Structure formats: structure tokens, C-alpha cells
Amino acid sequence: MSLYIEALIRADVETVWEHTQEPARHQRWDLRFTEIDHLPAVTGEPRRFRYATRVLPFLTVSGTGVSAGEKRRPDGTRTSALRFASAHPLSLLAEGSGYWRYVPTGDGVRFLTGYDYRPRWGHAGALADRVLFRPLMGWATAWSFDRLRLWLERGVTPERGLARAAAEAGARVLCVAAAGVLGGPVAGLAAAAVALWVPPLPGTPAARRCLRTPPARARAPRLLDRLPAAATRAEPQEQSA
């Protein structure tokens, strides 16, 4: 099952394009990546890039991809498509593809993505993906989209958005713990239910603000069909102290 995320961002389409296509800005708001870098361009070929995600303080998983974009379309929308792959043995994600659409409206820009990937590790990897990894990827994408929205609409930088989310989550955990200590298990469970139900503050990123169900007409752009497969050469295992 492919993933679909959509957010309405009250900004002009050029601003949204710049903050999603420029690697230095993209890696600031997207929780899924620690680093994104363009590789040297080759004339006549789509743009290639390298991405990395810090899984643990001492472990970074990396991969490569290829992308292309259509900045000027007759209907005023914009589209970018990509294929990506990771040969890192600890990466559950083996290879995949996806797209971004930018649809100007009277209220802003409908910024949406659809993507899918093939997990590795056989049946065990497929089970881990279905039960844990795919729901986590969907949540992380939606949370990141709302983080971007707050940056462009309210001026809440990605770093401040993350700090607010951590502080708010910590406060909710403390309230649940206090209810459990003072009122017992039943009070603790009730407090946990309330903590999960109450929406985050307006300036705190939240995945629940994004649309997660694709419209019936949603489909991948033709641009994706023209992209070659991403390189699958082994990526060096990166470690840091």
C-alpha cells in the first residue's frame, strides 16, 4: 500500500517549491532525512542526489536517488518525481519511488506526496514494514509537512518546531505520570487517553493536521515513468562518535 500525505500551506507556490527542492532547506524540516546533497550534475541526465538518515548517534544509513521536476505546467501546477535506493545492509528500505505535487488554490498551495518502496529482509522485513516501519514513515512524513507549513505560515523555524514538540510531549508524559501516581492506574489510563486526544498547540507540528487518504483521482505523474532507476551500489557505512 503506497503512502499519501497532503497539506494545505498558505504561501505562494514559488516559496513552497524553494523550501522543498533546495537540499539545505529540505533537510531542515523533513524528519526522515539528516542530510540531502546534490551529486555532480551530468549533462543530459536527471539530477542525482545522496541522502542520509541518522538512525542512532553512532550510525547513519545512506542511499542515492535521481529526481526531475516540472516547474511550469499549463495548468499552473508543479511536479517533481524521484527514484531512490539504499544498499546499506541495515536499511529496511531497499528501493522506491515517489512524487510531489504543488497545486495552487485560492487559499494557498496543496502540497502533496505519494510514494512507495520495497522493503528488504524477506518475509521478516515485509512484516516489520507492515506493522511498524510503514506507519512510522507515514506519520513522519505528515508531521514533517505540518512542520514545513508552520515555518512558511507562522515563521516557526523547523528547529523551534521540534523543540516545541519535544516540550509538549514531555509535558503530556509528566501529566500522565502524575495522574497515575496520585490517582492510581485508572486515573493514569484516563489521563493517557486525554493526552492522546487533545490536539497539539497551534504552533506545534502535528501529523493529524494532514490528509492521509488519497482522492480517487490521485495517480503518479508521467514524469516518474521517464526516470531511470536509482543507483544501487553499496553505500559506505558511516559512523560518528
Provide the pLDDT confidence category of residue 166 given band limits of 50, 70 and 90: very high
Terminal Cα distance for the chain, rounded = 37
pLDDT average, residue stretch 188-195? 92
pLDDT at 219 over 70: yes
Does 45 share its domain with 67? yes
| Residue keyed to cell 517533481 | 80
DSSP bridge partners of 78:
102
Q: What is the dihedral of CA 10, 96, 31, 206, to 10 degrees?
A: 50
Quick one: which of 205, 144, 138 has its CA closest to 4? 138
Task: Note the pLDDT of residue 241.
Answer: 31
Q: How far apart are CA 218 and CA 214, in angstroms?
A: 6
Provide the pLDDT confidence category of residue 235 given band limits of 50, 70 and 90: very low
Task: Note the pLDDT of residue 109.
Answer: 96
Task: Note the pLDDT of residue 232.
Answer: 54
pLDDT average, residue stretch 69-98? 88
Does 194 share its domain with 82? no
DSSP bridge partners of 109:
9, 104
Pairing status of strand 3-9 against strand 47-56:
unpaired
In a domain? residue 235 = no
What are 97-121's pLDDT values in tens digits? Answer: 999 999 999 999 999 999 999 999 8
Looking at per-residue confidence, does 12 or 240 come out higher? Answer: 12
In a domain? residue 231 = no
Looking at per-residue confidence, does 45 or 134 come out higher? Answer: 134
In a domain? residue 233 = no
Whether 60 and 54 have beta carbons less than 8 Å apart is answered as yes
In a domain? residue 234 = no
What are 181-190's pLDDT values in tens digits? Answer: 999 999 999 9
Does 7 share its domain with 104? yes
In a domain? residue 167 = yes
Structural domains in the chain (count): 2
Task: Note the pLDDT of residue 193.
Answer: 94
pLDDT average, residue stretch 161-165? 97
CB atoms within 10 A of CB 57: 9
Q: How far apart are CA 161 and CA 144, in angstroms?
A: 10
Does 182 share its domain with 94? no
Range(s) of the domain holding residue 127: 3-156+212-225
Does 218 share its domain with 165? no
Provide the pLDDT confidence category of residue 223 given band limits of 50, 70 and 90: confident
pLDDT average, residue stretch 15-19? 96
